[in-house]
A = this chain, B = another copy of it.
Amino acid sequence: MRIALAQYNYHIGNFEYNTAKIIRGIHEAKSRQANLVVFAELSVCGYPSGDFLEFKDYIDKCYRAIDEIALHCQGIAAIVGAPHRNANPKGKPLYNAAFFIEEGEVKQIYRKGLLPNYDIFDEYRYFEPATEFDIVSYRGKRIALTICEDLWNLYDNPLYTQNPMDRLAEKGADFMLNIAASPFAWDHGGERKNMLSRNASRYRMPLFYVNQVGAQTELIFDGGSMAINAHGGITHEMESFTESMLVIETDEMGRKTGIKPSPEADYDKKIENIYKALVSGIKDYFGKLGFSKAILGLSGGIDSAVTMVIAADALGVENVLGVLLPGQFSSDHSLKDAEDLAKTLGCPYHTIPITDITARFEENLKPWFKELPFDVAEENIQARTRAVYLMALSNKFGYVLLNTSNKSEAAVGYGTLYGDMCGGLSVLGDVYKTDVFGLARYINRKDEIIPVNSIIKPPSAELRADQKDSDSLPEYDILDEVLFQYIEKRKGPDELVQMGFDKKLIDRILKLVNTCEYKRYQTPPILRVSPKAFGMGRKMPIVAKYLG
């Protein structure tokens, strides 16, 4: 049998667009002599659809889209992902399902059994887990069709109490097919390959895997669809972050030699993948919302420089406007570094000094501030004045403001709400400062695009005289390691001390992280590239008093 794996980019709720894309895919697959074309999990409506799934109209539209798609399945079968109504009045009203369509009709519906409900996933909010699983029979083959997490129950300490693939294997199958909506995280590609390879080895069957690509606000789907032989060797791998279709002859899988997944990707590969993910994230945020132009504040520092390069890659240099907003404490080299970057890239830039406005604000506040010393109030006036300018240009000309804060700053609250924390999208909010340096080196791997001075100078917010980040924060290499253990690895204070970190330092950092929840609550959506990003996947109460 010839199977076409369609690794596509869908748009949530855009039924016309998704349906047309799926129908084009069916015709392309047919023209390439495929017998079956496979689209990703919830491809009909997009993933994640959120609470739109609670609307009857939304589900009706999914059903109508499937009817329309079915008309095109003539001489070829298709598998598409969509919600399916639960006929049983007990339990959640929907299943997360895969529709097997043949000869113009839905012939079989497979329902997902293992619903992820952790980190960014909340499938129990909408879906009932299935407990019965059937083989799809088609053209003499028995297909063990599953959906995403259904294959993620192999380890000793699983999240789930059932294993759908065990049930399907008992019934006998020729190969496995898994449709997914599995978002990128820098450590996830390796995990995913491992898990899929182990499934193929365990059940001694070839496995075909179809993931989606493209970003949906903060979630970036990297694709990486693949075929794996019955020994767990990867025989085909589709290019990440790219839409494409791959046609494979299933009967030839036995003769294909595959590559077993290697245990660890290196640091350079991690940074390269993060770079690609962020480009894809910006591209789709703008594309799917119908915007084309970005604006950002250029400070001369490394964060705004890296953000600008990535944005220029995603949107084109002519579509990224940098704005230099020098204040009272901005250094000359900052201005020069920012200008150099814009010139090297070929991006337009404006310069608007903020000093007259900030002086006037301070003057007008004198009757209340009196002789009180300069503090965070005056620092923030500078950052917020910059935001007023950036947003004014954004509102007047239709730019989307890009936020340039990194994850280290976001973690410890080193940023001004309604100031540098503004933006429609946070590009680096899930990238620790040490990895921002990694991205800068990656960007400069051939030529000096980001001025070396932006990379080597000590980081500073330049909101008071001779300020450096290290005045109030630990050095970034230590800070980032503690943050990683606390945020990504969920290590508590005792565990961190056991790992050798200084108790006082731990207490200070954890307190900063926990007491700044209120700031992160109001930040823009953050492109997710790690296994634990701030935002939808990390839910922390604001009024708590725990380690803070």
Contacts and interface: CB of A to CB of B under 8 A. Distances in A.
B365 A48 contact: no
B418 A395 contact: no
Given A11-B544, A50-B539, A391-B417, 9 more contacts: A12-B541, A13-B541, A57-B493, A288-B543, A356-B360, A375-B395, A377-B392, A381-B388, A387-B418
A377 B396 contact: yes
Interface in A306-343: none
B160 A90 contact: yes
Interface string A504-515: 000000000000
B393 A492 contact: no
Contacts of A391: 380, 384, 417-418
Contacts of A392: 361, 365, 377-378, 380-381
Interface in A527-548: 536, 538-547
A523 interface: yes
A450 B375 CA distance: 36
A54 interface: yes
A14 B52 contact: no
A393 B364 contact: no
Contacts of A384: 384, 387-388, 391, 418
Contacts of A352: 364-365
Interface in A151-190: 156-161
A492 B13 contact: no
Interface in A182-203: none
B424 A395 contact: no
Nearest to A358: B388
A294 to B, nearest CB: 14
Contacts of A468: none
Copies of this protein, total: 2
27 contacts: A13-B544, A13-B545, A13-B546, A14-B544, A50-B539, A52-B540, A52-B544, A55-B492, A57-B492, A57-B494, A89-B156, A118-B125, A122-B539, A124-B124, A217-B541, A284-B543, A285-B543, A289-B543, A357-B360, A357-B361, A375-B396, A381-B392, A384-B391, A391-B417, A518-B525, A521-B524, A536-B539
Interface residues of A, number: 93
B49 A541 contact: yes
Contact of A12 (B55, B368, B380, B546): B546
A457 interface: no
Contacts of A380: 391-392, 395
Nearest to A385: B388
Contact of A364 (B48, B357, B418, B544): B357
Contact of A543 (B12, B117, B393, B395): B12
Nearest to A158: B90
Q: Which of A377, A540, A543 has the most CB of B within 10 A?
A: A543
Contacts of A48: 541
A446 interface: no
Contact of A541 (B17, B216, B541): B216
Given A57-B493, A523-B522, A539-B50, A545 B288 contact: yes
A389 interface: yes
A265 to B, nearest CB: 26
A50 B539 CA distance: 5
Contacts of A11: 543-545
A45 to B, nearest CB: 9
Given A357-B364, A391-B418, A159 B369 contact: no
Contacts of A544: 11-14, 46, 49-50, 52
A92 interface: yes
Contacts of A456: none
Contacts of A542: 217, 289, 525
B217 A543 contact: yes
A93 to B, nearest CB: 9
